[in-house]
Amino acid sequence: MRKLIRRASRKAGLAPGTLVHVGERKAEKPRITIIDYDAENFQEREADSVKQCHASRHTSTVTWINVSGLHDVSLIEELGECFGIHSLVLEDILNTSQRPKLEEYEDHMFIVLRMLYQHSEDGEVEAEQLALVVGDNFVLSFQERAQDVFEGVRGRLRTSRRRIRERGADYLAYALLDAVVDAYFLVLESLGEMIESLEDDLLHDPSVATLNAVHGLKRELIFLRRSVWPLREVISLLARGERGAFSDETLIYLRDVYDHTIQVIDTIESYRDLVAGMHDTYLSSLSNRMNEVMKVLTIFASIFIPLTFIAGIYGMNFQYMPELHWRWAYPGVWAAMLVLTLFMLSYFRRKKWL
Amino acid sequence: MRKLIRRASRKAGLAPGTLVHVGERKAEKPRITIIDYDAENFQEREADSVKQCHASRHTSTVTWINVSGLHDVSLIEELGECFGIHSLVLEDILNTSQRPKLEEYEDHMFIVLRMLYQHSEDGEVEAEQLALVVGDNFVLSFQERAQDVFEGVRGRLRTSRRRIRERGADYLAYALLDAVVDAYFLVLESLGEMIESLEDDLLHDPSVATLNAVHGLKRELIFLRRSVWPLREVISLLARGERGAFSDETLIYLRDVYDHTIQVIDTIESYRDLVAGMHDTYLSSLSNRMNEVMKVLTIFASIFIPLTFIAGIYGMNFQYMPELHWRWAYPGVWAAMLVLTLFMLSYFRRKKWL
Amino acid sequence: MRKLIRRASRKAGLAPGTLVHVGERKAEKPRITIIDYDAENFQEREADSVKQCHASRHTSTVTWINVSGLHDVSLIEELGECFGIHSLVLEDILNTSQRPKLEEYEDHMFIVLRMLYQHSEDGEVEAEQLALVVGDNFVLSFQERAQDVFEGVRGRLRTSRRRIRERGADYLAYALLDAVVDAYFLVLESLGEMIESLEDDLLHDPSVATLNAVHGLKRELIFLRRSVWPLREVISLLARGERGAFSDETLIYLRDVYDHTIQVIDTIESYRDLVAGMHDTYLSSLSNRMNEVMKVLTIFASIFIPLTFIAGIYGMNFQYMPELHWRWAYPGVWAAMLVLTLFMLSYFRRKKWL
Amino acid sequence: MRKLIRRASRKAGLAPGTLVHVGERKAEKPRITIIDYDAENFQEREADSVKQCHASRHTSTVTWINVSGLHDVSLIEELGECFGIHSLVLEDILNTSQRPKLEEYEDHMFIVLRMLYQHSEDGEVEAEQLALVVGDNFVLSFQERAQDVFEGVRGRLRTSRRRIRERGADYLAYALLDAVVDAYFLVLESLGEMIESLEDDLLHDPSVATLNAVHGLKRELIFLRRSVWPLREVISLLARGERGAFSDETLIYLRDVYDHTIQVIDTIESYRDLVAGMHDTYLSSLSNRMNEVMKVLTIFASIFIPLTFIAGIYGMNFQYMPELHWRWAYPGVWAAMLVLTLFMLSYFRRKKWL
Amino acid sequence: MRKLIRRASRKAGLAPGTLVHVGERKAEKPRITIIDYDAENFQEREADSVKQCHASRHTSTVTWINVSGLHDVSLIEELGECFGIHSLVLEDILNTSQRPKLEEYEDHMFIVLRMLYQHSEDGEVEAEQLALVVGDNFVLSFQERAQDVFEGVRGRLRTSRRRIRERGADYLAYALLDAVVDAYFLVLESLGEMIESLEDDLLHDPSVATLNAVHGLKRELIFLRRSVWPLREVISLLARGERGAFSDETLIYLRDVYDHTIQVIDTIESYRDLVAGMHDTYLSSLSNRMNEVMKVLTIFASIFIPLTFIAGIYGMNFQYMPELHWRWAYPGVWAAMLVLTLFMLSYFRRKKWL
């Protein structure tokens, strides 16, 4: 079950710009991957320390530095210094429970997103914060875990003669955003399947487990919604192109990402509509069942209580009860009981209870 | 049951602009129909390949090329090259789960819609994506299936002396939009009838099947809504006439289409209001029935349990029970029971349970 | 029960501007009433054909032509030609399921409203479309039935020395709008009374009929709302006075109508709030009743089942049951039963079930 | 119970500007109170007729004329003439079911409010329309009843050396608005207490009377909301200071009133949220009770029905029933019954029904 | 339980600007703390009277005067005079039930907030109003109680060489706002935990206490929401930087606070969504339980009522009942009863009631 809010207690009372990692430690050791490319050249390497980052700062190639694992605060600090990043941005990078947002500084842009992906092993959906710093010829990306949704982008970068190699850091940033949004669709797909199977369960075999599942789904959708709505704002701001950081050609692609984000939101809202109705369906199913139980009780009681009464009558010990001595009284009583039962059954059939 | 989201897995991780057909293969072979007309001339033919399209590109007549069946990616690519269409547009044409939208390029406009129509055979409502590319003197339309809602437009084109023959590609585009929106009304009509019959069922004979139907209706309305709201935006953008592509005269007609779209939305929202209340009605009906069942049980139990008790009393075997030896005890007990029953019946009648 | 959407099948597939009457035929024969007036003169006559209309087109007096009954398409066409009305406007006049709207053309304004009034005979509320074409010195009004809400306006026109006679066609249009909006209040009043009586029923004597009535009310309000919200837009557009058609002085009056429309909307929304809560009240009442039924059953069962058990005990045929032979056993059992009953009654009284 | 709409039938069909009093006659005779003041002088008198009003029109002092009782239409008309008030304004003054609004005329401003106050005797909340006409050096106020919320303002006016005496008519108008809004808080307070006591009742002792009270509260809040939302607009318009009628210094005070209005709205919305949840709580309480009733029934039935069955067994008259002749059979049956009962009790205790 | 509105009766009818303390008296004696600092110097002292405040008014250092306890009206008045504060501002400072707001005066800014913190002793959440007056080189803060959320800020001030010491009063004001918003997160965290534990209770062990807790939570969230939404407006206004009072560098920090406020709102809205669904879950759980109770009753009744009937049959005293004299009749009846019971049990098992 997703936590709706992370423990922020560690931070309360500190000065702004104080660098503290808020989040769980997900990786053993921060991993720094540096990809350096232009149309002709491509270089990919793992860096041991930030020293090597300095080198790539002032080349004409595009540099993408990805940091997985944020608990080593000093490393982030050094990187920040090297690329001239505001201390509040560094603070936000380390606080991994940010709301998606876009901030513009003089020579770089800071984007916070929430990245969703399915775990390669058990297929469970994981969410983590992705922080992007986009400069003239560099993109820095910060995440907590080693796994991400960028394998496709890396693949395209490795192959020469792909459009992505001929373009600048803005196109790379777009490609990363696109990969993040594309991954939402996969999550939505699996939620869609869950909704369909739950709807089936609700109508035909509702149980407390179903109610639990509906609840979990609601929660997941609330969580998703909180990730996507601000993402839409971020991408809308970027796609409007008022910030100079993106070239006109890349803007066309960004508008495509924007369309996808809208589609994600549309789908989430539709899902919410569907899930909102599920509780009502559950209650209806419960009521239906209760009705069924009550009918069984009522039918049994209404048939046998009068019969028992009749039997009780002739169990009385009055001295003067002429029927007791009649020859055919006993079979007569049986006959009367049979007639009564048949009458009751036909009555319930007419009421459509049977 | 409509899927709320299509499998997009095939696309995730690909570069933008990569042409992949997302959707089901609905037709055997793509069918290309070319209609070429001006006020005097009219020519309609099926093309075997895209070669023939090239010819019609640079004539002064209006050319409408309709492609049914999108799985032949190379064909779409050739068409795109011939008419100079951006690769992102081609990607969108092939991805048939787009949200309705309007995109403007230098020399053409790209419109995505959702087209609804009733299947000619079994009357079921089908939905598919319609992509329109509107240029100076050509309209390209892309759909997955052969069936569409444009027979009326084709008919008017075939007849000379109709206004549509004297106007340009913009009027043709308007006519197609109008046909699409008109078809929504037919779908709404059949939904309206379904709602009315369901309301009847809910008040008089609610069952699990009714609940299922309400559910399906809700789903259908969510789906419709997702198709129409963005359509409204698209047509509103067009009707405002800021884009030069539509002549002033055609704009008057577009505003008419806009009014219709608003009316469609109004109706959908009203339907949603009605359907939203249906679940409550269902629950009320269930409660009403339960009340009825309980009353039957209570009446039977309340009448016969005391009677059985009386019978039980005189079934006791005490040695000293004077009543047992009275001459009129037995008829007396019957009389007492009768009085008691009448009293109970009148009590329930006063409570209006009978 | 109001239809939420009219059959539009007759129109689908036709060219725009094709004149077809969509709606029920409500009047035997179209009735054309021409009122011609200025401050000094007043003339009111029924016209046989449209010929006579031509005459009034170019006088300096204000001409009000009212057409009741729209099934004679040719008549509408002639009128349209005489007053130079766009074919799309004529189409809208004939399609009587339009959404209220305002359209401006070069020399006239086209307004569509929904007019409500209580039938003079049985008091039932009728709704029909009113189309107004307002020109420099003429007002054309189109409706389906002979009855309308304009008797007051006609009366004021007939009396000389009333302000309305001294003003132009714009003031006449205002007066008609005012009459339409005023009539909404009467409908709201009767709905308000219905709501109050239903609330009473719901709390004290809920039945399936009440539920039906609540349902009908909801439907009626959805219908009303759909009529009034766009009406508000229309009148707001007019009252803002950006269109030159209304003189400054008339605009003050229009703002008054606008205030009334807002008040109508306010009231409808309040009603909706009230009606929305009615279902909950109904369910609560049902639950309350069920509780009452269950209490009766429980009290009867809980008192008599133990008593019957006691009677059963002494109905057993064991050879060695000393009590059976005691002298005061039988009265003792009665006494015990009485005590038990009193105890149970006091228990239920303490629980406040009695 | 507040009427949601007043009978407007008296007005329908009349010409605009026709003066008719719509509302109940609340006072015997209209009472006209004239207060005339500047920093040095203060004069307060009751006028017999409007004649005396004429005098105060052209003095340099500030004049506040308050009219309580609106059924004397001619009086209102004379006042209107004297101060040059538009006939539509007079009509609105007399129609006491107006929506709060602000209208600006060349030399005066017209404000309609809804004034709430607690009746001095029985503490019931009364609502009535207050109409203000604010001119250069005069304020006219119109209300239906003699009682109002202005005693504080009058008191401050009577005392010399108070700020209010040194300022103009705009400050007086502000003071009246402030008094009206302040009175809302008192009403909100008493509603808040009602809500708290109802919440208590709902959780611990729900009855039909509680449901009735919740209903009444809902209605009252709908009514209040309809009064306050437009009031907010009115005061916002005034406080923005675009209309020249208020001096800059008074605007600061008006913004204070605006803050209060926002606070009133905030509180009403919070109340609505709370009351909206009350119905659910009521239903839950009912369900809880039903559960309790059912448990009592089930426990009684489940314990005694098997016991009665056992008794019934040994009440059978078979010739060959060996148990009947055993010495300890009877006490044995009692023992068995006791064991069974204890078992059932422990079962129900484990289920937490006891 | 938080009061939703404070008693305002004390104020109604008073002139605006009249200083009256509205609120509970929370502290024994107002405590005035004066902190005076620049980059080099730092002085912190408690003042006995306002006299000492005068001194700090015209120094070049930044002065922060904090007043805890507002019941000494004359003290507030003197401070107001010393720093030239508008009487309406003083009124608002004393009325501790203000809505968060921002007001600008010529040489100072007035900010009202709601400050939340957890009581150091029992962990309960307390709320009180914080009023800030921010001038060129001074910040005045007014609160009712001695406890607050500013210990961190004070700590940083005391330490030389911290950024806060080098900046002006605007940065101090920012630091206070930041501390207030940070404290909201702690409250949200504890609410989040409450929600999670309640969800657990609702699904597994719902009781009236749970319902009470849900209710309290709802109320708390309504209260929080009313505090935070206007806070967002206030900080948004400040962060937009149109008011000159904040330096460009501080504005970057303010935008950070703004982001936090948005995050608080997001979380509150998510909580509201979750809590809104809790009532439904409660009802479902109740229905589930009722179903269980009914099943127990129905199973008992359906099994034993027929058996009792059979026993009743052979308890009848007819003279001619051949079965009574059969040798194996009694064991036969037992066998029949056993078969019947097994049949009923398997029937209920098939229905999944067992």
Q: Do A16 and E256 touch (CB under 8 A)?
A: yes
Residue B133: per-residue pLDDT: 93
B25, pLDDT greater than 70: no
Does the pLDDT at position B211 exceed 90?
Answer: no
- Is A9 within 8 Å of E192 when comparing Cβ atoms? no
Answer for the pair B184, B220: CB distance below 8 angstroms, yes or no: no
Residue contact D282–C284, C-beta within 8 A: yes
Contact between B101 and B129 under an 8 Å Cβ cutoff? The reply is: no
Residues A236, A241, A245, A247: what is their CA dihedral angle, to the nearest 10 degrees?
120
CATH class, range B294-350? mainly alpha
Average pLDDT over residues C166-179: 91
Residue E167 backbone phi and psi in degrees, to 5:
-105, 175
pLDDT tens for each residue of D25-51: 665 688 899 999 988 888 888 887 777
Provide the CA B179 distance to its chain's centre, in angstroms.
17
**pLDDT tens across C36-91, in order?**
998 888 888 888 777 766 666 677 889 999 999 888 888 888 888 888 888 888 98
* B316 CB within 8 Å of a chain A CB: yes
| Selected residue with higher pLDDT from B121 and A349 | A349
* Cα of E11 to nearest chain A Cα, Å: 37
Q: Chains near A, with 3+ CB pairs < 8 A?
A: B, E
The beta-carbon neighbor of A316 closest among B300, B305, B311 is B311
Greatest Cα pair distance, chain B, in angstroms, is 121
Q: Is C291:D290 a contact under the CB 8 Å cutoff?
A: yes
Q: Are C297 and C275 in contact (CB under 8 A)?
A: no
Taking CB atoms and an 8 Å limit, are B353 and C13 in contact across chains? no
Q: What is the mean pLDDT of residues B163-167?
A: 85
Indicate whether this model's pTM tops 0.80. Answer: yes
Nearest partner of C25 among C119, C117, C100, C94, judged by Cα:
C94
Q: Is the pLDDT of residue A70 over 50?
A: yes
**Is residue B341's pLDDT more than 80?**
yes
Residue in D with minimal Cα distance to E280: D280
* CA pair distance B101, B88, nearest whole angstrom: 13
**CB count, 10 Å around CB of D134?**
23
Summarize pLDDT for B218-262 with one digit per residue, the tens: 888 888 888 899 999 999 988 887 766 788 888 888 988 999 999
CB atoms within 10 A of CB E337: 17
Eight-state DSSP code of residue E257: H
Residues in chain E within 8 Å Cβ distance of A317? 317
| Distance set, CA C223 to CA B12, B186, D53, E206 (Å) | 46, 20, 50, 42
The alpha-carbon gap from D238 to the nearest alpha carbon of chain C, in Å, equals: 18
Cβ contacts of D224 on chain C, cutoff 8 Å: none
Per-residue pLDDT of A103-122, as tens digits, reads 888 888 999 999 988 776 66
Gap between the Cα atoms of D248 and E105, Å rounded: 13
Average pLDDT along chain B = 85
Burial letters for A112-127: b for 16+ Cβ neighbours within 10 Å, e otherwise?
Answer: bbbbbbbeeeeeebee
Nearest chain D CA: its distance from E190 CA (Å): 22
Q: Say if residues E74 and E39 touch (Cβ distance below 8 Å).
A: no
Q: Three-class SS string for chain C?
A: CCCCCCCCCCCCCCCCCCCCCECCCCCCCCEEEEEEECCCCEEEEEECCCHHHHHHHCCCCEEEEEEECCCCHHHHHHHHHHHCCCHHHHHHHHECCCCCEEEECCCCEEEEEEEEEECCCCCCEEEEEEEEEECCCEEEEEECCCCCCCHHHHHHHHCCCCHHHHCCHHHHHHHHHHHHHHHHHHHHHHHHHHHHHHHHHHHHCCCHHHHHHHHHHHHHHHHHHHHHHHHHHHHHHHHCCCCCCCCHHHHHHHHHHHHHHHHHHHHHHHHHHHHHHHHHHHHHHHHHHHHHHHHHHHHHHHHHHHHHHHHHHCCCCCCCCHHHHCCCHHHHHHHHHHHHHHHHHHHHHHCCCC
Average pLDDT value for residue range C319-331: 91
Which of A312, A321, A324 comes nearest E312 by C-beta? A312
Judged by a CB distance cut-off of 8 A, whether residue C204 touches chain B is no
Single out the residue of A150, A151, A141 nearest to residue A53, CA to CA: A141
Of B178, B259, B315, Cβ closest to residue C99: B259
User: What does pLDDT average to in each consecutive run of 10 residues of chain E (354 residues)?
Assistant: 49 68 70 89 83 69 90 86 87 86 87 84 78 91 88 87 84 92 88 88 81 86 88 89 78 89 91 86 87 90 93 92 91 94 94 84
- Name the one residue in this structure whose structure tokens are 């004359």: E74
Does domain D31-283 fall under CATH 3.30.460.20? My reply is: yes
How far is residue B153's CA from residue B115's CA, in Å, rounded to a whole number? 15
Minimal Cβ distance to C12: which of B185, B317, B321? B185
C345 band by pLDDT with thresholds 50, 70 and 90: very high
> Using alpha carbons only, how large is chain B's radius of gyration in Å?
34
Neighbours of D92 (CB within 10 A): 21
The domain segmentation of chain D, as residue ranges, is 31-283, 314-350
DSSP E14: P
Q: E137: distance to nearest CA of chain A, Å?
A: 21
User: What letter would DSSP give residue A353?
Assistant: -
Q: Percentage of residues in chain A with pLDDT exceeding 90?
A: 30
User: For C306, which of D296, D304, D315 is closest by C-beta distance?
Assistant: D304
- Specify the pairing of strand B138-143 against strand B62-68: parallel
Separation of alpha carbons D325 and D318, rounded Å: 12
CATH class of C293-350: mainly alpha
Fold of the domain spanning E287-350: Methane Monooxygenase Hydroxylase; Chain G, domain 1 (1.20.58)
| Residues of chain C contacting residue B306, judged by C-beta atoms under 8 Å apart | 300, 304
Q: How far is B289 from chain C (nearest CA, A)?
A: 10
- Could you give the CA distance from residue E151 to residue E183 in angstroms, rounded to a whole number? 12
Residue E328 exposure: Cα atoms within 13 Å on the Cβ side: 3
Q: DSSP class of residue E210?
A: H
Confidence check: pLDDT of C108 > 90: no
Window 232-291 of A: residues touching B by CB (8 A cutoff) are 252-253, 255-256, 259, 262-263, 266-267, 270-271, 273-274, 277, 280-281, 283-284, 287-288, 290-291
**Any chain B CB within 8 A of the CB of C54?**
no
Taking the Cβ of residue A86 and every Cβ of chain E, the question of whether any pair is shorter than 8 Å is answered with yes
Q: Which residue of C has its CA nearest to D323?
A: C318
Are C300 and B306 a contacting pair, CB within 8 Å? yes
pLDDT at A7 over 50: no
**SS3 state at E296:** helix
Picking from A91, A76, A80, the residue whose alpha carbon sits closest to that of residue A20 is A91
Task: Find out whether E267 and A223 touch, Cβ atoms under 8 Å.
Answer: no
Q: What is the pLDDT of residues E128-141, one digit of tens each?
A: 899 999 988 899 99
At D279, list the tokens. Answer: 């119905």
What's the pLDDT at B172? 93
Interface test with B, best of C20, C215, C324 (most B CBs within 10 A): C215
CA-to-CA dists, residue E280 to A269, A280, D271, E203, E222, angstroms: 20, 8, 21, 11, 19
Using the beta-carbon criterion (under 8 Å), do B281 and C279 form an inter-chain contact?
A: yes
Task: Give the closest-approach CA distance of C208 to chain B in angstroms.
Answer: 8
Mean pLDDT score of chain C: 85
Interaxial angle between packed helices D151-158 and D169-204, expressed in degrees from 0 to 180 and rounded to the nearest 10: 150
Q: What is the pLDDT of residue A288?
A: 87
Nearest residue to A188 (alpha-carbon basis) of A130, A249, A266, A259:
A266
Nearest residue to E65 via CA among E31, E97, E93, E91: E31
Structure tokens at A12: 């309360």
User: E61-108: per-residue pLDDT in tens?
Assistant: 899 999 998 888 888 888 888 888 888 889 888 888 888 999 888 888
Nearest neighbour of B316 by CB, restricted to C3, C212, C311 = C311
- The CA distance from C142 to the nearest CA of chain B, in Å, is 19
Specify the DSSP element, H or E, that contains A262: helix A248-313
Chains sharing 3 or more CB pairs under 8 A with chain B? A, C
From the list E192, E270, E318, the residue facing A222 with the nearest CB is E270
Q: Which of B330, B333, B353 is the best substitution to test chain A (most A C-beta atoms within 10 A)?
A: B330
Q: Which of B197-211, D313-327, E46-60, E211-225 has the highest mean pLDDT?
A: D313-327
Say whether pLDDT at D165 is over 90.
no
3-state helix, strand and coil shares in percent for chain E, rounded to the nearest 5: 55, 15, 30
DSSP one-letter string for D240-286: TT-STTS-HHHHHHHHHHHHHHHHHHHHHHHHHHHHHHHHHHHHHHH
